[in-house]
Amino acid sequence: MEQDTLFINRELSWLEFNRRVLALSKDKEVPLAEQLKFAAIYGSNLDEFFMVRVGSLQDQLALDGDKADAGSRNAVAAQQLNAIMPVVAELQGLCDKYVNQLEENLREKGYNKLNFDKLTKEQERFWKKYFEAELFPLLSPQIIDHRHPFPFLRNQEIYLGVTLKNKGDSEVSFGIIPVSSQFERVLYLQQDGVTWYALVEELIAHYAPMAFGRWSVQKKCLFRVTRNADITPDEGLMDQDIDYREVMTELLKKRRKLAAVRIQFWPEAPQEIQHFLCQKLILSGKRCFVQQSPLDLSCLFRLASRLASDGHTELCYPAARPMQAPADYNLEEQVQHRDVLLCYPYQSIRPFIKMLKKAAYDPDVLSIKMTLYRVARESQIVQALVAAAENGKEVVTVVELRARFDEQNNIDWSKQLEQAGCTVIYGFDNYKVHSKLTLITRKKNGKFQYISQIGTGNYNEKTSEQYTDLSFITSNQEIGEEVAAVFNNLAVERLTPQVENLLVAPLCFKSVLMQEMDREIQAARDGHPARILLKNNSINDKDIILKLSEASCAGVPVDMIVRGICCVKAGVPGLTENLRVRSIVGRYLEHSRIYAFGVGEDVRVYIASGDFLTRNTQRRVEVGVRVRQPDLVARLLEILRLELEDNVNAREMRPNGKYVRVKPADGQARIDSQMLLYDLFREDFHVAPPAAAAPKRVGILERLRNFFRR
């Protein structure tokens, strides 16, 4: 089998995902303020891509440049970097074009970007006065010559670089002014009914000659450095006498000083400044990007917020808030009668938080155990755990200190949890604990009772309103015992080898799902109806890709909803002609993982914390669960159905790996799955029916059967 025929390079696939994000910044069906946000998200995504993925490839190149990365079509690091940079340059050109159009659209709405080369006399007086009063006292200009060494340039901060001459000197010196993050990035001025906005770095660049005194500024340009952030615990630090939290604290300090991987320049940046900085930062010209758009696109978030605060609701998405449970809704009581599935952001996370808070004070509750990967800055969930510990409950938290870019937040929370009396576990040396798992243990009438929660998303109140995620809560005692076993294994750094009801990576996650695929393959070969439906964030696991190709060749219809990285080509004759891939990128970040196998009443549906990336299947502790209650199965299938019929947010992959936007056919209604799911969950939270009554919504199964037999 030709690798190029079936597989797509992981890094190039990710860049194609970010292209889909960027495309929303020019989508006329997206409100202007939201277009600004998508451009900003594109920039933030690209920053992280360079810090993590390009940083990792750069490390490979430095340490073992001739060793191939088997997970990337056997391309060595140098080849991958050479393939990445032209695509980034192409995307940068598109970004400049789209942002320029956004600025024109803002002008039509009365928001004009200030051009400091074309100031009126009145504007010149105002901004000069502002610079002298508010910025000049805080500037820290630096001269670089044989007496003044080249300074350390902070990751992701903007600087002004200049060439300087002293009166009577023939030599040229270099100077740098840091644009401190303490400055307000976007400045506003109301004038004659128009809102003028200016970027603080451009204001500093305009008045830079005032900052260097007797030196004469010859040429100048703004620039921004991105540094490698791909750090892992160093074996030399893993001393038995050193607390792991101290190790991570030291590594965070190290991250700030890692090598540069990219430099962005202002338009028409002088060649001598570019050459000087590349030489000092040891960067090739391919890592230098000259751009028309702002060097740090996060300023567009601020502009979007300004539009909203000025009352331009028509420029924003219509308000859509999570459905709140009735005031008397008691999740703990409901889950004693039936399994419950909360679907974010369509339903609120509050019932779960309320259940945790109640458990913290319930005299029957003996313990609460939870895995914490990413939590909110002001986490009510952590506060509930603290309250439980202070009330004498046994509270065990598995805190993953290696949650990238959330390390410091997790370090801080782990300290607070310990101070409250919680047992804090950091997980494994070689496996990240990425599962979303909670276990509440009660003892009533002399018997132990479990409430288990298995989720696809983090315990984070903020992201629960921005990400689509699933939270499964059950009082099933068998599941509770298995969840308890997982926590016990985590406590002693042991992988869970076998379970009946759960999926637990790395030992019994991929293998179980591949067995499910084998069942569908065999069904198709026997002439029976078969189907595979997979919704997740990313896929690059080679074994799974080959199994999906086998399923396609056996005649199994395979539908995949993959938001981001997808390393398998769809619709390739003889390999994946029965496999369809679509990506949904819209108002909410699609984050839930749903894996469904079979048709009709035989359909088997799982939710899980793990994707089909090799890191999830082999190097992380992930947990999933099979959902068996008919109405909840129906609800999950309804989510898949709507997303497979989406013609607003969806793009489908072609056999060449490129994506094409799905549009409504002539006369066809617009199907926005993200908005229609509000209608699905608009009814009140489920209230447990009497024991003899049929489960609510079971009728959906009948409605779905024909669809899933297609």
* Residue 180 scores a pLDDT above 90: no
DSSP secondary structure code for residue 456 in this structure:
S
* Residue 141 scores a pLDDT above 70: yes
What does the pLDDT look like over 71-120, one tens digit per residue? 544 458 889 999 999 999 999 999 999 999 999 999 999 999 999 999 99
Residues 232-255 have a mean pLDDT of 53
State the pLDDT at residue 588: 96
4 or 357, which is more confident: 357
Residues of the chain with pLDDT > 70, as a percent, come to 89
Contacts of 166 (CB under 8 A, 6+ apart): 173, 214, 215, 216
* Residue 5 scores a pLDDT above 90: no
DSSP-based three-state secondary structure for 142: strand
What does the pLDDT look like over 290-315, one tens digit per residue? 999 999 999 999 999 999 999 999 99
Reported residue count of the chain is 710
State the pLDDT at residue 145: 79
State the pLDDT at residue 232: 62
Beta strands in 644-698 (DSSP E): 650-653, 659-661
Sign of dihedral through CA atoms 116, 117, 120, 122?
Answer: positive
* Residue 64 scores a pLDDT above 60: no
What does the pLDDT look like over 448-472, one tens digit per residue? 999 999 999 999 999 999 999 999 9
Separation between Cα atoms, residue 511 and residue 568, nearest integer Å: 19
* Residue 230 scores a pLDDT above 90: no
Return the minimum-mean-pLDDT range out of 196-205, 434-443, 631-640, 700-709.
Answer: 700-709
Nearest alpha-carbon partner for 565 in 2, 7, 98, 3: 7
State the pLDDT at residue 171: 80
Residues 128-148 have a mean pLDDT of 91
Beta bridge partners of residue 446, listed in sequence order: none
Contacts of 307 (CB under 8 A, 6+ apart): 32, 33, 36, 109, 111, 315, 316
DSSP-based three-state secondary structure for 688: coil
Angstrom CA distances, 515 to 199, 335, 409, 519, stand at 56, 30, 39, 6
Nearest alpha-carbon partner for 43 in 261, 264, 308: 264
* Residue 66 scores a pLDDT above 80: no
Query: pLDDT band at residue 245, thresholds of 50, 70 and 90?
Result: low
State the pLDDT at residue 696: 42
Chain CA centroid to CA 464, Å: 13
Nearest alpha-carbon partner for 684 in 319, 326, 320: 326
* Residue 62 scores a pLDDT above 90: no
* Residue 242 scores a pLDDT above 60: no
Separation between Cα atoms, residue 38 and residue 32, nearest integer Å: 10
DSSP secondary structure string, 20-38? HHHHTTS-TTS-HHHHHHH
Q: What is the pTM of this model?
A: 0.90
* Residue 243 scores a pLDDT above 80: no
Residue 544 belongs to what H/E stretch?
helix 542-553
State the pLDDT at residue 637: 96
In the block, tokens 């190097």 appear at: 619
Tokens of 428: 């494994």
Q: Please state the three-class secondary structure of 67-95 as a single string.
A: CEEHHHCCEEHHHHHHHHHHHHHHHHHHH
What does the pLDDT look like over 11-38, one tens digit per residue? 999 999 999 999 999 999 999 999 999 9
DSSP secondary structure code for residue 235 in this structure:
G
The answer to whether 434 is a known catalytic residue is yes
CB 222 within 8 A of CB 292: no
State the pLDDT at residue 710: 43
CB 401 within 8 A of CB 244: yes
What does the pLDDT look like over 314-354, one tens digit per residue? 999 998 889 999 888 999 999 999 999 999 999 999 999 99
State the pLDDT at residue 73: 43
Residues 567-590 have a mean pLDDT of 97
- The gap between the terminal CA atoms of the chain, to the nearest Å, is 29
Highest mean pLDDT among 182-191, 313-322, 323-332, 519-528: 519-528
Helices (H), 282-365: 299-309, 331-335, 350-361
* Residue 203 scores a pLDDT above 70: yes
State the pLDDT at residue 609: 97
What does the pLDDT look like over 399-452, one tens digit per residue? 887 767 777 777 777 888 889 889 988 878 789 999 999 999 999 888 999 999
Separation between Cα atoms, residue 232 and residue 7, nearest integer Å: 28
Tokens of 76: 């060595």
State the pLDDT at residue 246: 61
Active-site entry in 146, 337, 434, 686: 434
* Residue 270 scores a pLDDT above 50: yes
State the pLDDT at residue 454: 98
